[in-house]
Amino acid sequence: MDLLDNTLFDIPMILWIVALAILIGVFAVTWILRSIFLKRYKRLSASGIQDLNLFIAGEIGRTSIIFLMILSFYVASLVLPFEVRFRIFINLVMEITLLVQVGIWGMGIINYLIDRKARASIEDDPSLVTTLVAMQKIAQFVVWTVIILIVLENLPGIEITSLIAGLGITGIAVALAVQNILGDLFSSLSIVLDKPFVLGDSITVDQFAGTVEKIGMKSTRVRSFQGEELIFSNSDLLSSRIQNFKRMQRRRTILNLHVSSDTPAEKLKQIPEMIAEIIRGQQQVTFDRAHLFDIGGAGISYEVVYFIETQDYTVYMDRRQVINLAILNRFQEESIQFATPSQTVYIGNPGV
């Protein structure tokens, strides 16, 4: 009983014991709840389930241990008659900790909404994914900026209006120093809004070609067809000529054929019809024209134009191969010979 009659910092020991019990109880309960929801989140994530239950479990699982400790201490401190200055300090620490935790929860909400929209639109509109990623970064920046300003406003001795004015002047100086970085940043926003390409597009930039893997705030990463990663700064990328093959709906093909000049005229008249018949018999292929367009030393020349209705390069090459083999077989059946380069050399005796 003597212990309970004592005081610590002019506060009865019984109140300290009650506060300690509250601290342990609050922390134990919140930590157990956090652990339960965290296990549930991991189980739902492993099963591939994407629903509101996963989001709620994930949000609770994101609750920081430090936040739980400070929350428990704050609740326990309510039974202790601290001095006003110390009470103000405890309240300030609790407010700052709560704001940071709200920021963490806010990040989870933003990520959940953006990821959900991205999964729903990735097949119908892949270009929207790039826009959503940029919106995600901007929203995260805005949330943390607001939280930092609120924290600074609650700190004693800091005038937030003067601070913002000072940051504006400093921002101008910083902008001049990092104008190249800012140029890449605005170029990134231009790529997101204008969408000259999106993730997964096959593009050619100058002499480089590959598939877009990532569009960042400063650079864009492209996986070349040889396998290496190509990194372009966004400003350089937009100032270059970009060919986007993903948006190609059909591929125009020009085929030049040269047959022997010894081919009978009747056969020469039939060649365009033969080729048209072969091309029209193929799937995903549209015949345009076939003409005898030149007669010269290399033989009789034909120009054939047709379209392959696909953007897939492998399918395109497969159709070309089938058409070329069919033309070879038909020419063999019709005994039509291809022209071969030849050169006649006359040897004479200058003295004769």
pLDDT for 197 equals 83
304 in Cβ contact with 257 (< 8 Å): yes
230: CB partners within 8 A, 6+ apart = 208, 210, 221, 222, 223, 224
Closest CA to 259 of 294, 229, 286: 294
Q: Which helix (H) or strand (E) holds 58?
A: helix 52-61
Backbone angles phi, psi at 250, to 5 degrees: -150, 155
Q: What is the pLDDT along the chain (352 residues), one digit of tens a residue?
A: 456 667 777 778 888 888 899 999 999 999 998 888 878 777 766 666 666 666 777 777 788 889 999 999 999 988 888 888 888 888 889 988 999 888 888 888 888 888 777 777 666 666 566 667 777 777 888 888 888 888 887 777 666 666 666 666 666 655 555 566 667 777 777 777 777 888 888 888 888 889 888 887 778 889 988 889 999 888 888 888 888 887 778 888 999 999 998 889 899 999 999 999 999 999 999 999 999 988 876 789 999 999 999 878 888 899 999 999 999 999 999 999 988 766 555 565 555 4
Domains and CATH numbers, the chain: 2-124+136-147 (no CATH), 181-244 (2.30.30.60), 251-333 (3.30.70.100)
Q: 298: helix, coil or strand? A: coil
Question: What per-residue confidence (pLDDT) applies to 7?
Answer: 72
Could you tell me which of 339, 301, 330, 324 has the C-alpha nearest to residue 253? 324
